[in-house]
Amino acid sequence: MVHQLVAPVLSNEKLQKKVFKLTLFSPHISKTAKPGNFVHIKVSSNNYPLLRRAFSIHRVGKNKTEFEILFKVVGKGTEILSRKAPGDIVDVLGPIGNSFSLPQKEKEVMLVAGGMGIAPLWFLLNQLIKRFDKDKVTFFLGAKSKEELLYAKKLNSMGSNLIVATDDGSVGRKGLITEIFKKEIKKKKYDPRKLAVYSCGPQMMLKRMTDIAKRLDLFCQISLEIHMACGVGACWGCVVQKKDGIYKRVCVDGPVFDAREVNLE
């Protein structure tokens, strides 16, 4: 259940020019979080920027006392967050939202991450490989370029299949990860009914995933990002439209949705 708590910063590691991994101490969140859940963080103490910022839970420490978020500096809030250091404390709401539903044993599992989409999928992957044959799991990792590619080495050493692509071809295959994913399931002639797909990434990419999932009637869960005010289901600001026209709240009805069910733009 969602709690409001004051979490001490344990570390804030710079992974790339603009990408940071922040480790926060919180037994409550670490013990109860599931892959797909997120936290809503008050980044500034002087209320500027005003609203909280949402971040997927990226990993939970083995001893379940700390958790990580992986974030990219894109504006004021993330800039402030990038300057947090051990000893600082952070006001956190979490864990929030629904989670990915783990696949049935017999399924072939595919994770498709674009850019920062790796954030929640890494938590999911770590759960999956505890229960699944590593070679039944394939990770599609996409980025704009070599410089922005994250976690390729780590993923390689995890033992599951890894397919890397960059928009400019500077490493791995060249092209959008969604297209690589589509080609791969065509080439290998996978039966869509036997697949379980999980995806996260930029809006445009997830839009492509919903198209693919709808066309192939694929079980595909996507984690959405949208501007959030309350983060607890109260304001109805963070909505996504379902096929039937009904609006759902990303914060508490999501952030994970069946790609066949939502209309993205």
Ligand X SMILES: Cc1cc2nc3c(=O)[nH]c(=O)nc-3n(C[C@H](O)[C@H](O)[C@H](O)COP(=O)(O)OP(=O)(O)OC[C@H]3O[C@@H](n4cnc5c(N)ncnc54)[C@H](O)[C@@H]3O)c2cc1C
Ligand Y SMILES: Cc1cc2nc3c(=O)[nH]c(=O)nc-3n(C[C@H](O)[C@H](O)[C@H](O)COP(=O)(O)O)c2cc1C
* Residues of the shown chain interacting with another protein in the complex, contacts defined by CB under 8 A: 1-4, 42, 47-52, 91, 93, 226-241, 245-247, 252
Which residue type sits at 181?
F
The smaller minimum CB distance to a copy of itself, of residues 47 and 63, is found at 47
Answer yes or no: are the C-beta atoms of 164 and 131 closer than 8 Å.
no
The smaller minimum CB distance to ligand Y, of residues 27 and 237, is found at 237
Compute CA distances 232 → 38, 106, 255, whole Å: 11, 35, 12
The smaller minimum CB distance to ligand X, of residues 49 and 192, is found at 49
Q: Does 233 bind ligand FES (CB under 6 A)?
A: yes
Distance in Å, CB of 249 to ligand Y, minimum: 12
Q: Please list the residues that pair with 221 across neighbouring strands.
A: 198, 258
Q: Does 154 bind a copy of itself (CB under 8 A)?
A: no
- 247-249: strand order across its sheet: 247-249, 239-242, 262-263
Site for a copy of itself in 9-68 (CB under 8 A): 46, 48
The smaller minimum CB distance to ligand X, of residues 175 and 239, is found at 239
Q: Does 235 bind ligand Y (CB under 6 A)?
A: yes
Distance in Å, CB of 72 to a copy of itself, minimum: 18
Which residue type sits at 94?
G
Q: Does 83 bind a copy of itself (CB under 8 A)?
A: no
Helix, coil or strand: residue 33:
coil
Sign (positive or negative) of CA dihedral 102, 104, 105, 111: negative
Q: Does 42 bind ligand X (CB under 6 A)?
A: no
Residues 6+ apart with CB under 8 A from 241: 247, 248, 262, 263
The smaller minimum CB distance to ligand FES, of residues 167 and 261, is found at 261
Could you tell which of ligand X, ligand Y, a copy of itself, none binds residue 137, using a CB distance below 5 to 8 A set by kind? none
- HEC sequence for 96-121: ECCCCCCCCCCCEEEEEEEHHHHHHH
Interatomic CA distance for residues 54 and 129, integer angstroms: 26
Q: Does 234 bind ligand FES (CB under 6 A)?
A: yes
Could you tell which of a copy of itself, another protein, ligand FES, none binds residue 1, using a CB distance below 5 to 8 A set by kind? another protein
Sign (positive or negative) of CA dihedral 164, 220, 205, 224: negative
The smaller minimum CB distance to a copy of itself, of residues 71 and 257, is found at 71
Distance in Å, CB of 161 to a copy of itself, minimum: 44
Q: Please list the residues that pair with 110 across neighbouring strands.
A: 138, 197
Could you tell which of another protein, ligand Y, ligand X, none binds residue 71, using a CB distance below 5 to 8 A set by kind? ligand X
- 66-72: strand order across its sheet: 53-56, 38-42, 89-96, 3-14, 19-25, 66-72, 59-60
By CB under 8 A, name the binding residues for a copy of itself: 46, 48, 76
By CB under 6 A, name the binding residues for ligand Y: 229, 235, 237
By CB under 6 A, name the binding residues for ligand X: 38, 49, 53-56, 69-72, 74-78, 116, 119, 225-228, 255
